[in-house]
Structure 1
């Protein structure tokens, strides 16, 4: 753009304190450019004409431009174009105005409805009335090329090339210069075409009336559906000048048309607001403004009206109310009223601010969003969340991560389910702008709790979000998180939650390993095969279960087909702990055992191996001394007497068999093996309990006070007490609890 600015300055032969931007299409004596005022970086429109250009001189456009330049300085009116600056030098004339576009360009760029057109015509009629009656001017150039539209959507009258004061203008440009402009001849009344422009001298302002009527016909393409307006247009363009009405008559007779136009009504309201105090303005925004946005009014505002005309007023009023600080004299009603006002204004600000450009949004709306996200007021928070889908596109990753995220997720802790649910929906909108660290360290913890929310739809949407963010979960915990979340939802009482979990398992099947499928997933899916609430769940579970089972079977085909030696581990044991046993004898024992039992090994073969003379030695000694006989007499356990636990082999073997059966639940008959439900284990615990609960007195004589001696006296006949303390618990099954199995 700087290059363009320098180029334009070179072409025009001078420089001005404004930056030139793009050229604007225009049909007038002026060349138009978008521009910027460097002082405040505000937008402007630059009207330029080169007085040294020979084509302009030959066309006498310089005279028309000079008349515009001169009259623009003299006349100021709200409905006329707002001029900011005038620059004149030997080569050029410049008129700097508010940013505008020609009406012809505006109509081609936007689809303008009839109500907006009537609003625009109403503004132009008021401008003409001011010029004709208040200033005693005839405009003489009313058409689509002399009207401009500003950012607010207001139609502004300009094109002062022929503007003539009917009493004190020595140049009389309407009569002297009008023939220089070719487009002037496009829409002239018959009397002017036949007799020339001087024919309007008796009633010059009726010439403006005629041009205005022709403008209406052009705007409505000669198809005016409103009968009242159509009648007024015919009176404006009456061929007989004495029957032609003036602009003030048009406004008076068309009052009913303008009164029923809601756009004109709200425009007039906003004009009047400038002269009202803050309380009156606030009441208008709270109670009157909503009338233009309800479903019955069907008001369609022109482009730029809401965001550039109404929005600044709302932001100004919001900033005033926001500064309110409760004082000692403030009542609770005052505070509530203030919060209600903020909520209403914020709703409008976010609604209209969405149509702003990125730069203007960042400047005007973002600061409000950041500040209000920290608010604890539920109405404020709900409005922010409801509008998030509209303004999210204007938020950067940095905005979301540093200014919004932590305030946003605080909504999950709200006791109001609407806030929690809307917060969850909002997280989905900005999830791509949340950092991986925030997802794993903050969001997942919250979602784990949200998955148990009392509201069913929140539980469903939580699972959907977990599935959506699975690619951002840390790899070392990803599968555990997914399996846990999906499995938990399979047990949910809400059918859509179960269906979502099954769909999640189906979608994520490639994420899980075969070990995870076999040990963690298939069992969970199998439970859903017998779901009692929904046949849809059972059918979907069957489909997903089969997918996972097929995946396992497909990979199982690649496993080796060679069978390992079933007794390899048992052989390795005896090889390690009974190295003196000859392999042939050991194999004979194993073969004999295999022929007598459906299992490879049991306590039969162990007893036989122990009692075999071949195995006498360390193994036999270890086996005989491995168990403490709980039925041994007190005398045998006394430390002061020799240990009587060394019995003959047959008695010891018998005792060992009894103890083994009582504590392990196994016996020689394998038909009583635990069936997986734990019933045999319960039986064994009861039998063991009977043995352990036998009253056993274990006393050991106190040592004598003298070293090496025994304490003498009345206790000498008491049996010694054992120092062995057995802390046995009947309830401990040694497996770490049933939860592990």
Structure 2
């Protein structure tokens, strides 16, 4: 297949030492002497672009132009010039291997960026052109078709067929038409450029005006590529007002008189104050900046990023930041907030691929500034980190912060546990995290003690069930006695927020006493919070007590219904709950004893009805018999009415002659 491809294009065999393979041809929407192919580096499989120019059927002028492009590509080095890896001339033609790119008209903007002008890309190629001019070169083919876009979205200056020194404008225009890429419908160099007095770089200045018109007209129309029709006159309305004067001057070159029009254009505030230009220009010269300049600029970088589109931040800024943090120095600590700011906008897979390895690496760093940045940013990125990475790699490094001699590190470590607990294994939480947080309640720094208490309260719902109550009681108890008033207030707030985690017995017996001590706290804010908390806890305890009473009532009612042999005393035994008065077992026992005695006395009376009165000694015997019978009946009811029987047995039978009120309640018949 490889031979067939080479035979098809007529270039013959490539030497085995050529370190690249040539792949599929990229179809170009314009006419050009060069073909563009996809390629790969043999050693690592990385993608490249291969420009191929066949010698067959080419006139000497075109061959000379191709040879010039080959030579310039070898020697020209600039960040904004298309990077050439190798060049090769064979009997069949020329090869130039570069970074992977596509021509600007073939590059489609990312979704969401269709209406955003590529100001940074425009600045890049104008800067590359300015570099050529400062070196005495004229490009000759500058314009949209001489610009290429790499995989990150950066613009690169290419097409060096006519790049040379000392070229006059007339020759440049003639050569441009003969060897340069052409596309009908786009602006052509005007004849006025051939007039006397026009500088040799006049053709490049005009090409710069065409490129500016294309960039802003395309963004305005939301249309890109060769279907984008524009002319310089109509494009004026799409050009930002800050650029219009320069745009007009570039279209009509005049004697330079020591001026450099392209350099003056990119020095305009429109470019220099642009967020993308400011960010990338600083990063490109990072190694030339002093530590003070770096620190100041990096502090403001997150705000600068707000002015960039999501695509630019992801494709262009993030790779630059990841590269910059690898250099020795303090860049990692200062760059981390911006890296994470972009990182959290990535998809989960992209974050794990590009940012997560850096996070794991930096957590192991001894640099306190880096660790502090990581700890304070953990809440933004933890959802992108998988559980295995957190448990096995990040937490073991993070936990060292609890014993760090630097107080801000200890405090940041405590705060980070809010995000860790829900993702850590329960065993780790119970055996390490809780013990460490309780230990931090004895830290000499008051703010750390306060935050440790707040942290325990916030994560309490995520703790193992067996650990919730004892842990909360420990830290709240310590917090209520803390000499730092905000810590005492935090303890009261935590108790109020987690009150449902405690039983009524714990609240009443162990926690309410501590709350009551704070009612007269020297700090009024703590006292106010204590009263608020006390009211809430009292309500909880009161409801719990009502529930207990209701269960007692239900239990007694159930006992009464089961024992059909016992008196129906439901109303008497439950009156204390309904009427708000307490139950008196002594009076209930006396009343029940009276009912028993009355019943048996009635039986005895009916038996003696119509007979003569008994003598006194007989009446005494009957009286004793009736009391003993009543006591026997009460003893039989011990199962159903234990409290009544107990009370009655203590008091004994009513004394002879005691006046008792009779009851209207009917006595139930006993089943034999």
Please give the TM-score of this superposition, normalised by the length of structure 1. 0.53
Distance 2:115 2:321 in 1: 19
- Are the aligned partners of 1:213 and 1:236 in contact in 2 as well (CA < 8 Å)? yes
Change in 2 beyond 3 A, CA 1:405/1:297: closer
Distance 1:135 1:562 in 2: 109
- Hey, what does 1:721 align to over in structure 2? none
Distance 1:21 1:537 in 2: 75
What is the deviation of 1:136?
A: 4.5
- Are the aligned partners of 1:206 and 1:246 in contact in 2 as well (CA < 8 Å)? no
1:533 aligns with 2:528: yes
Distance 1:255 1:487 in 2: 63
- Hey, what does 1:231 align to over in structure 2? 245
What is the deviation of 1:212?
A: 0.3
1:286 aligns with 2:291: yes
- Are the aligned partners of 2:508 and 2:541 in contact in 1 as well (CA < 8 Å)? yes
- Hey, what does 1:174 align to over in structure 2? 176
Distance 1:369 1:503 in 2: 36
Matches within 5 A, 1:310-459: 311-318=322-329, 344-354=330-340, 355=342, 357-358=350-351, 361=354, 365-366=358-359, 368-372=361-365, 375=366, 378-393=368-383, 395-414=385-404, 417-450=407-440, 454-455=446-447, 457-459=450-452
What is the deviation of 1:287?
A: 0.9
- Hey, what does 1:157 align to over in structure 2? 157
- Hey, what does 1:207 align to over in structure 2? 203
| Runs (5+) with no aligned partner, structure 2 | 218-235, 344-349, 482-486, 520-526, 564-627, 651-672
- Are the aligned partners of 1:421 and 1:458 in contact in 2 as well (CA < 8 Å)? yes
Query: What secondary structure does 1:533 align onto?
Result: helix
- Are the aligned partners of 2:68 and 2:163 in contact in 1 as well (CA < 8 Å)? yes
Change in 2 beyond 3 A, CA 1:257/1:599: same
What is the deviation of 1:155?
A: 3.3
Change in 2 beyond 3 A, CA 1:200/1:51: farther
Matches within 5 A, 1:58-207: 70=70, 73-78=73-78, 79-86=80-87, 95-100=96-101, 105=107, 108=110, 117=119, 120-131=121-132, 134=135, 136-143=137-144, 145-150=145-150, 155-160=155-160, 173-178=175-180, 181-182=182-183, 185-191=185-191, 205-207=201-203
What is the deviation of 1:467?
A: 1.6
Deviations along 1:370-399, whole A, 9 cap, x unmatched? 431xx3x65454233223345545543333
What is the deviation of 1:350?
A: 2.0
The structure, 1 or 2, with the larger RCO (C-alpha pairs under 8 Å, 6+ apart) is 2
Distance 1:22 1:269 in 2: 38
Distance 1:93 1:249 in 2: 34
Distance 1:418 1:504 in 2: 28
- Are the aligned partners of 1:490 and 1:528 in contact in 2 as well (CA < 8 Å)? no
Change in 2 beyond 3 A, CA 1:202/1:495: closer
What is the deviation of 1:164?
A: 7.5
Given candidates 451, 454, 463, the residue that maps to 2:456 is 463
Distance 2:498 2:420 in 1: 21
Distance 2:490 2:140 in 1: 71
Query: What secondary structure does 2:206 align onto?
Result: helix
Given candidates 235, 249, 268, the residue that maps to 2:260 is 249
What is the deviation of 1:187?
A: 2.1
Distance 1:230 1:495 in 2: 63
Change in 2 beyond 3 A, CA 1:363/1:147: farther
Query: What secondary structure does 1:182 align onto?
Result: coil
- Are the aligned partners of 1:499 and 1:540 in contact in 2 as well (CA < 8 Å)? no
Cα RMSD over matched residues? 6.0
Change in 2 beyond 3 A, CA 1:138/1:404: closer
Distance 2:27 2:257 in 1: 32
What is the deviation of 1:257?
A: 2.6
Distance 1:560 1:63 in 2: 112
- Are the aligned partners of 1:80 and 1:156 in contact in 2 as well (CA < 8 Å)? yes
- Hey, what does 2:621 align to over in structure 1? none
Deviations along 1:660-680, whole A, 9 cap, x unmatched? xxxxxxxxxxxxxxxxxxxxx
Please give the TM-score of this superposition, normalised by the length of structure 2. 0.58
- Are the aligned partners of 2:103 and 2:148 in contact in 1 as well (CA < 8 Å)? yes
Aligned length: 516
What is the deviation of 1:435?
A: 1.8
- Are the aligned partners of 2:69 and 2:163 in contact in 1 as well (CA < 8 Å)? no
Distance 1:542 1:37 in 2: 77
Query: What secondary structure does 1:316 align onto?
Result: coil
What is the deviation of 1:210?
A: 0.8
Query: What secondary structure does 2:328 align onto?
Result: helix
What is the deviation of 1:563?
A: 3.2
